Amino acid sequence: MTLPSSIQPQNPSPITPELPITTLSQLPFVDIYLRIDQHQQGRYNPIKKTMQNSGNLPIPSSLNDDLEILRQYILTQPNEDSAHTHDNIRLRIAKKELSDKSVWASMRRVDPGLLDINRLNIKPRLLDYLKQCGKRCGLLLIVGATGNGKTTTAAALVNHYMKAFGGVAFTLEDPVEFLFQGPVGDAGYCFQVHVQDDEGWAQGLKTALRWHPNYIYVGEIRTPEAAAQMLRAATSGQFVITTVHGGSIEEGLAGLLQVASSAVGNRANSLLADGLIGVLHQTLTPAGPQIKFLFTEDNNMGDPIRACVRDGELKLLGTSIAQQNVRLFGHS
């Protein structure tokens, strides 16, 4: 089930290596690697369609001033992960000390155009179903490994729901990756919050509920209290969307239940079963990202999928996953 053939940034204009590059916005990069504890030539991965060269390349010395500005910014950030806008480019930054004690940062270009759910090339029938999920209340869980586009899909869905149905969205993120704070569409408004530490997730969810949002996006669940608070929100009339690391739909659900049960015990299964809208498992492959999916029936607490979750029989969900794929696409 193909998602984007590529989720590499689309907005930079094609630039050949022969043309002078004087600003960061002219560099056709996907990722930049920059040593920040001392000066060393930076490297970058190019957007493949813009250059004949591929792989990891040295950044032209003409951009040293830009790199120094970025280096100084990153040095001031207390957390390993952050986001920053420089030269009208949004960057997702990950800082790390390596085995030789050197400190490097990886900066990924964030393409704001990917907030358009129609640009992700999700198969039309699945995309149509996902677009209508915004009318429901409950939890939509997006599962996958790091770097498989979970955040992109989640943010694009929230953006679409506000444009299509209006209302208020409240996001909790670390860092805030896609910027859509403020008016969205004709009748939507988004409030974005950068969560500073692990304790901030649960408190942020409590705050979000006081704002009476239609949509809540939680970038990641890191604490039992936050997981429990999110499940409560999903059963209280909000649409909640979040991402979880996992190798399958079943692993994602099991991971969420394991974290939440530390705060609410066996009630975690009942809360998740009652509030679950669906689960997507997203994977990047050489042919493009793929999605497996599982959806509950709206307003049916006796749904067999909910029963499996409630009883902790997640291993039985494979049959439902296959059946829903056949119903939607006519094949397994």
- pLDDT, tens only, 59-102: 999 999 999 999 999 999 988 989 999 999 999 999 999 999 99
Domain count across the chain: 2
Say which CATH number the domain at 309 has: 3.40.50.300
What is the rounded average pLDDT of the residues 165-178? 95
Whole-number pLDDT of residue 326: 94
Among 57, 91, 110, the domain-final residue is 110
The CA distance from 174 to 181, in Å, is 15
pLDDT one-digit tens code per residue, 190-212: 999 999 888 889 999 999 999 99
Which residues span the domain enclosing 66? 24-110
C-alpha angle with apex 283: 259 to 90, nearest 5 degrees?
Answer: 85
Domain membership of residue 52 (yes or no) is: yes
Domain membership of residue 222 (yes or no) is: yes
Helix (H) or strand (E) holding 295: strand 288-295
User: Do 125 and 209 sit in the same domain of this protein?
Assistant: yes
User: Do 208 and 223 sit in the same domain of this protein?
Assistant: yes
Among 77, 110, 143, the domain-final residue is 110
What is the rounded average pLDDT of the residues 111-117? 91
Cβ atoms within 10 Å, residue 196: 11
149: DSSP letter: S
Domain membership of residue 9 (yes or no) is: no
User: Do 33 and 176 sit in the same domain of this protein?
Assistant: no
Whole-number pLDDT of residue 222: 85
Whole-number pLDDT of residue 285: 63
Domain membership of residue 212 (yes or no) is: yes
Domain membership of residue 196 (yes or no) is: yes
User: Do 79 and 154 sit in the same domain of this protein?
Assistant: no
Whole-number pLDDT of residue 5: 35
pTM of the complete model: 0.84
The CA distance from 46 to 56, in Å, is 7
pLDDT one-digit tens code per residue, 214-224: 999 999 888 99
